[in-house]
Each structure stands twice: as C-alpha cells, then as structure tokens.
Structure 1
Amino acid sequence: MRIGIVCPYSWDVPGGVQFHIRDLAEHLIALGHEVSVLAPADDGSVLPPYVVSAGRAVPVPYNGSVARLNFGVLSAARTRRWVNEGDFEVLHLHEPAAPSLALLACWAARGPIVATFHTSNPRSRAMMAAYPMLQAALEKISARIAVSEYARRTLVEHLGGDAVVIPNGVDVDFFADAEPKAEWQGGTIGFVGRIDESRKGLQVLMRALPRILRERPGTRLLVAGRGDEQEALAELPEEFRDRVEFLGMVSDEDKARLLRSVDVYVAPNLGGESFGIILVEAMSAGAPVLASDLDAFAQVLDGGSAGQLFRNEDAGDLARAAVELLAHPERREELRGKASRHVRRFDWSTVAADILAVYETVTEGASTVAADERPRALGRLRPRL
C-alpha cells in the first residue's frame, strides 16, 4: 500500500507525535508498505529517507506548550506537490485541526483520508473558534482515530463526529531488552521531558525532592531533557543540588537504558496530556511508574494498577508516594509484574495492525464508491437511440 503520513510538528524538535509517526512509518515500511512522511524541518537537517521536508517551522503557543508548525503559501505549494506526486492510496494526517501541514494536506487531498487526533483540551476556545474554517476540510476525512478516550472527547466536544480509539504505539521489546547502566542504578529516580516546559511538572518534583532526600538520603534524581538546568534548580535548597544529575538530551538507546536502570520513574505532568507515551516506555523497560493522577495517565496505567498515582500538583503527596516505593522493593516488583502484562496492548504489533485495518476500510470504501460511480458515468455518456 502507498501511504502518505503528514507530521504537523517540526521533525528537528522531538516530541511524542513525531516519535509516534516515526515508529509507525518504520513499522509499516518493515511490513513492506511504501511510506512517505511530510514534515517541517530546518534546511540542512539530516532526515530519514522516507521523510520529505516542507520547510522550516515557526514556534506557536499551543495547548500549554510551544508547537513548531509550518503553515503558509510556500508550505501549501510544497504540500500540494507532495500529495500529487505521491499518488497515495491513503493519506494519514496527524492533528488536522491545527494550523499545520496536515490541514494543508487535507485541503489538497482527493483520495481516502485518515486523521489522528492527539490533543486533549476540554476548553479549547481556539478550536471552537476555528471550527467554521475547518469544517469543509474535516468533512473530507474518511476515518478518525483518537489516541485516547480524552483525545476522542476533545474531538467530539469541539469538532463533532466521532473517532475510534487507537493508542500510541511502542516497541516494547526495545525497552525491555535494553541494558541497564551501572552508574544510573542504585536508589535513582528518573524524569524524561523538556525541563523548561512547565506543564511537564519538573518543578513539582523539585519541591518534593527535599522530603524524599531527607527520608531516603541515598537517592539521586536523573533528569533527561533539554532546558535551563539552573532555572530548574532555583527552588531546590543548595544542600540537595548535588543529588540531581542532568543528562541533557539522550538518544533513544540511552533513554531505554535510563528507564531500565532507575528504581522509580516519576511523571509529574500538570495537564494537557492526551496519552502519556513515556509511561508506556517506562513500563516496557520495567521501571515502576509514579505519575500525577491525570485522567489520561490513569487510563494508560490501567486505573492505577500498573503504576502508582499521586494527586496532581501535590508535591507532598508525590514525596510520600516516592518514599514508600523506594522503601518497599516488593511493591516495586508488584508494579513491574502488572505493567509488563498490561503494556503489551501498546506494542506496535497490535497498534499498527489496528491502524492498517482503518486504512483498509477506507480504501475498500473508496473502491466501492468508484465502482458504483462508473456505471452511472458510462450511462450518462451512452448515446441516445
């Protein structure tokens, strides 16, 4: 099958949507499909052979974060050319409601379209205001996918219609088979995310850290991600700062090794999450997960049975739960066991099969419509006797 996938966010700045699209594309290619991905990227960026650059992105505040999007006359021309030259059997757009390449591709497309909605935002005034402009494009979509029940709810409440829920995928074995790193083991807490993005919640973890270190003095916090390290430490008393190690941006391989090494993985995110791919990666690696009780996180963690939840933005509750997990290895082992069974539903072998089933449904539907239209068209062309 010839498949075109549109990534709305800059390929140069990794994030959950980009990772999802990358892994989906590579999984489909491994299955023998022809896949091309259109994405924003800076000039000179080293891109995988299946990625086509639509030009440089610009930062735009979006859903409590900063999205790097590409939208304009030049982008529209490049998108139309990619759509026309690709002659795709199915076009898969991600976040078509955002002012991005996905919306441009939706306007340019003529064949079957599948759209995946990632955003969870129960009160998006921007989305509601934009609906009249989006309506014509969204009506062209043949099938809709939401990555979680909360993304589906956002779609239904703001744009109407419905969607099938298919979660983000993870290569479970890649994380499960990673080799732990000795220097990252032994009383360690892990955090992965953009450290200067407030909704990722590192500041809550920093406020919890003094109590954790007083009760478990051998503990260290390992932080992987880009951002201002000094700003992240600003609220942490000087006496505890040497217990925090910043690793900077890490490769996929080192992220997997980090998650395999830590005693507890903490996700203190404040909101705006529709899924929580890092939780699935941590569970795959066997890291006991401690996460804020966001609805999306609770769903990923099977209601709290595959990971422990604490009250969102409550540093005291985070500290109490972290100390309890660090002090009780049997509880951590219990969480590992439940998570290892639960996480298989997110493996790409399952997720990609579900997405392919959607592709096949819309392409078969398009073929049926085309076959039905042909006799009517021939009838109109048949000369009258």
Structure 2
Amino acid sequence: MRIGIVCPYSWDVPGGVQFHIRDLAEHLIRRGHQVSVLAPADEETPLPPYAVSAGRAVPVPYNGSVARLNFGFLSAARVRRWLHEGAFDVVHIHEPTSPSLGLLTCWAAQGPIVATFHTSNPRSRAMIAAYPILQPALEKISARIAVSEYARRTLVEHLGGDAVVIPNGVDVEFFASARPRPEWQSAPAPSAGGPETVIEPRGATDSQAATGPAGPRTGGTLGFIGRIDEPRKGLPVLMRALPRILAARPDTRLLVAGRGDQEEALAGLPPEMRERVEFLGMVSDEDKARLLRSVDLYIAPNTGGESFGIILVEAMSAGAPVLASDLDAFAQVLDGGAAGELFANENAEALADAVLRLLADPARRAELSARGRKHVRRFDWSTVGADILAVYETVTDGAASVATDERTGLRSRWGLARD
C-alpha cells in the first residue's frame, strides 16, 4: 500500500505527535508498505529517507503550548506536489484542524483520507469559531481516529461526527530491553545503613522485577522528561514539592531531560538543594529509554492539555514505577491508577507525600512496575499498527467499491454493462 502521512508540527522540535508519526511510519515500512511523511522542517534538519520537508515552520500558540506550524501559498504548493508525486492509496492526516499542513492537505487531497485527532481541549473557542471554515475539509475525511476518549470527546463536542479510539503506539521492547546507566541509578547504601531493603523494579525480567531483592539503597532517583519552559508539563509543581522530599530524604536526586532555561527552573529552590537536580538537556531515544530504566520513580506532574500521555507508556514499558497527576487522560492510560499512582493535579504537597511514601515502599514500587509492564502491552505497535492498518484497508476498500459502482453505472448508462 502507498501511504502518505502528514505531520502538522515541525520535525526538528520533539513532541508526542512527531514521535507517534515517526514510529508509525517505521512500523508500516517494516510491514512492507511504501510510506512518505510530509512535515515542516528547517533546511538543516536531518530527515529520515521517508520524510519530505514542506519548509520552515513558525511558532504559534496552540492548546496551551507553542506549536511550530507551516501554512501559506508556498506550503500549499508543496502539499499539492507531494500528493501528485506520491499517488497514495490513502492519506493519513494528523491534527487536520490545526492551521498547518494537515488542513492544507485536507483541502487538496482526493481519494481516501484518514484523520487522527490528538488534541484534548474541552473549551476551545477557536475550534468552535473556525468550524464554518473547517467543515468543507472535514467532510472529505473518510475515517476518523482519536488517540484517547478525551480527544474523541473534544472532536464530537466541537466538530460533530465521531471517531474510533486507537491510542498512540510504543515500541515496548525497545524500552524494556534498554540498559540502565549506573550513574543515573540511586547509590547503594552501606550494609549497616538500616533495615530498608529495596526490591529493585529495574531488573532484566518481570519476575525479577517483582520479587528479586537488589540490596539496600538510600535516597532515590526521580525522573522527569519534558520541555522545561512549558508550564503545563508541570516541572514547577515538582520543584515546589522537592524541598520537602529532600528534607526527608536528602540523598534523593532528580534527573530532568528536556530543553529550556535551567536557571529559571531552579529559581525557587533553596541554593543548598540545587545540586540534587541534574539537567541532562535533550536526550536521544536511546538515552531516554536508559533514563527510564534507571530511575526509582518516574514523575509526570503535567497540569493540563494532555489527550494521552505517551511518556507514561514509555515509562511503563521500561519498568519504571509511575506517579502522575490525576488528569483524565493520564488516569485512563494508567488504568484508573492500577498501573501507576495518581496525585491531585497541581498539588505540590500531595506530590511530595506520594513520592516519600513510594520511595519508602520498595514493594509497592515493584508492584507498580510489574503491573505497568503487563498493562502496557496493549499500546505496543504490534497491536496499534494493526488497528490503524485495518482503518486504512476499510477506507481503501470502500473507495474501490465506490469506483466500481460508478464505472458500472456509466457502463449501464451507455449500454456497456456486461452479464
């Protein structure tokens, strides 16, 4: 099958939508399909062989964040050329309502169109106001996918229609097989340092993770991955909780991976505690997996605007016990709190309480790790990719049937119908 996938956001700025599209494209290619991805990208951005640049993107405030989008006459011309050269059996557009390549493609494309909606925003005035402009494009869509029930609800309430829910996918084995980095793990405590024995949930197998003692440890290593300067990712909430955590467990470390102003992030933390926070900057996919395999507890303190929570799935795949804010989308990904613990959103005291309790309870962390590893299998690309391919096949089969009916009708009209 010839498949064209449209990415609305700049390829050179990492994000959940871009990662999802990249992994989907590579999964489909491994399955033997021909795939081309059209995405905004700066000239110097290295692109994989299946990706095509639609030109440089510009930053635009969108859904509580800053998205780098691509729009305009030049972009529209590049979209039309890409569609013409690709001759795709199906075009898969992500975020077709954003003012970027997705909407341009929806206007220009002919034939089967699948659209995936990632946004969760229950009160989007902009989406409501733009509906008359969006309607003609949306009517061309053959099938709709939402990455979560909350993304589906946003679509239904603002634009009408419905969608099948297919979650974001993750290469579970990639994260599960990553090697921890010793310098990122919590340090072993002296043998006479107290009665606490940690059952380490970062072992090589699920059974070892659930039952195998790793010896006494002190403090603990906390992990956070996200854009530092984007408030809705929740790092300020974690920083407000950190003094109480460090007062009770001074050897605790926080590893932060992501771009942003480190000095600004540390501004509210007492100077004597700042050395307990280590900024790693942007990390590769390999180091992200190794980080998640190394921490004693992964924390997702996001405050809103999340429709799914791909980082939670990645953390569970790596066997990291997860503690997340109780956003609806996060609660759904974590099976209502069975596969990871939840704390009251934006409540630093509740976050500190949960961290201290979990660091002192290695058996509970091992239980969360084991449950997360089991739960996360439903998000593996072997399942998610098959579901998306089923949607493609449905719309292409439907288009073929329509084309056959139209040809039959023409033959009948002109006396050319066969027995």
For Structure 1 versus Structure 2, the TM-score category normalised by the shorter chain is over 0.9
User: Per-residue deviation at 1:378?
Assistant: 2.3
Instruction: Return the alpha-carbon distance in structure 2 between the equivalents of residues 315 and 67 of structure 1.
Output: 28
SS in 2 for 1:56: coil
Instruction: Return the alpha-carbon distance in structure 1 between the equivalents of residues 414 and 272 of structure 2.
Output: 85
Instruction: Return the alpha-carbon distance in structure 2 between the equivalents of residues 67 and 381 of structure 1.
Output: 53
Q: What amino acid is aligned across from residue 282 of structure 1 in structure 2?
A: A
| Match in the other structure for 2:24 | 24
User: Per-residue deviation at 1:380?
Assistant: 3.4
SS in 1 for 2:180: coil
| Match in the other structure for 1:127 | 127
| Match in the other structure for 2:217 | none
Larger-Rg structure: 2
Instruction: Return the alpha-carbon distance in structure 1 between the equivalents of residues 390 and 86 of structure 2.
Output: 21
Relative to the length of structure 2, the TM-score reads 0.91
| Match in the other structure for 1:57 | 57
What is the 5 A alignment of 1:66-85? Answer: 66-85=66-85
Which of 262, 268, 272 is matched with 1:235 structurally? 268
Tell me the alpha carbon deviations over residues 280-306 of structure 1, each in whole angstroms, 9 at most, x when there is no partner: 000000000000000000000000000
Tell me the alpha carbon deviations over residues 310-353 of structure 1, each in whole angstroms, 9 at most, x when there is no partner: 00000000000000111110000010111111000000000000
Which of 268, 291, 294 is matched with 1:261 structurally? 294
Say whether residues 1:212 and 2:245 are aligned partners.
yes
Q: What amino acid is aligned across from residue 307 of structure 1 in structure 2?
A: G
User: Per-residue deviation at 1:216?
Assistant: 1.2
Instruction: Return the alpha-carbon distance in structure 2 between the equivalents of residues 164 and 22 of structure 1.
Output: 21
Say whether residues 1:309 and 2:342 are aligned partners.
yes
Say whether residues 1:320 and 2:353 are aligned partners.
yes
> Which 5+ residue runs of structure 2 have no aligned equivalent?
187-219
User: Per-residue deviation at 1:381?
Assistant: 3.8
Instruction: Return the alpha-carbon distance in structure 1 between the equivalents of residues 161 and 180 of structure 2.
Output: 45
Q: Percent identity?
A: 80
What is the 5 A alignment of 1:241-256? Answer: 241-256=274-289
Which of 380, 386, 394 is matched with 1:347 structurally? 380
SS in 1 for 2:280: strand
Q: What amino acid is aligned across from residue 189 of structure 1 in structure 2?
A: L
Instruction: Return the alpha-carbon distance in structure 2 between the equivalents of residues 45 and 309 of structure 1.
Output: 38
Instruction: Return the alpha-carbon distance in structure 1 between the equivalents of residues 168 and 288 of structure 2.
Output: 18
User: Per-residue deviation at 1:377?
Assistant: 1.7
Count of paired positions: 383
Instruction: Return the alpha-carbon distance in structure 2 between the equivalents of residues 210 and 183 of structure 1.
Output: 23
What is the 5 A alignment of 1:86-235? Answer: 86-186=86-186, 187-235=220-268
Tell me the alpha carbon deviations over residues 157-200 of structure 1, each in whole angstroms, 9 at most, x when there is no partner: 00000000000000000000000000100110000000000000
Instruction: Return the alpha-carbon distance in structure 2 between the equivalents of residues 381 and 50 of structure 1.
Output: 44
Instruction: Return the alpha-carbon distance in structure 1 between the equivalents of residues 279 and 45 of structure 2.
Output: 26
Q: What amino acid is aligned across from residue 122 of structure 1 in structure 2?
A: P
Residue range with higher mean Cα deviation, 235-244 or 199-208: 235-244
User: Per-residue deviation at 1:382?
Assistant: 4.2
Instruction: Return the alpha-carbon distance in structure 1 between the equivalents of residues 95 and 73 of structure 2.
Output: 19
Tell me the alpha carbon deviations over residues 195-253 of structure 1, each in whole angstroms, 9 at most, x when there is no partner: 00000010000000000011111100000000000000011111110100000000000
SS in 2 for 1:11: coil
Moved over 4 A (4+): none
| Match in the other structure for 1:359 | 392
User: Per-residue deviation at 1:375?
Assistant: 1.5
| Match in the other structure for 2:196 | none
SS in 1 for 2:304: coil
Q: What amino acid is aligned across from residue 171 of structure 1 in structure 2?
A: D
Instruction: Return the alpha-carbon distance in structure 2 between the equivalents of residues 116 and 371 of structure 1.
Output: 28
Q: What amino acid is aligned across from residue 62 of structure 1 in structure 2?
A: Y
Instruction: Return the alpha-carbon distance in structure 2 between the equivalents of residues 318 and 70 of structure 1.
Output: 38
SS in 1 for 2:299: strand
Instruction: Return the alpha-carbon distance in structure 1 between the equivalents of residues 393 and 340 of structure 2.
Output: 35
Q: What amino acid is aligned across from residue 403 of structure 2 in structure 1?
A: A
SS in 2 for 1:152: helix
SS in 2 for 1:191: strand
Tell me the alpha carbon deviations over residues 35-61 of structure 1, each in whole angstroms, 9 at most, x when there is no partner: 000000001321000000000000000
SS in 2 for 1:25: helix
Q: What amino acid is aligned across from residue 165 of structure 2 in structure 1?
A: V
What is the 5 A alignment of 1:275-314? Answer: 275-314=308-347
Instruction: Return the alpha-carbon distance in structure 2 between the equivalents of residues 46 and 340 of structure 1.
Output: 33
Q: What amino acid is aligned across from residue 239 of structure 1 in structure 2?
A: E
Instruction: Return the alpha-carbon distance in structure 1 between the equivalents of residues 413 and 60 of structure 2.
Output: 50
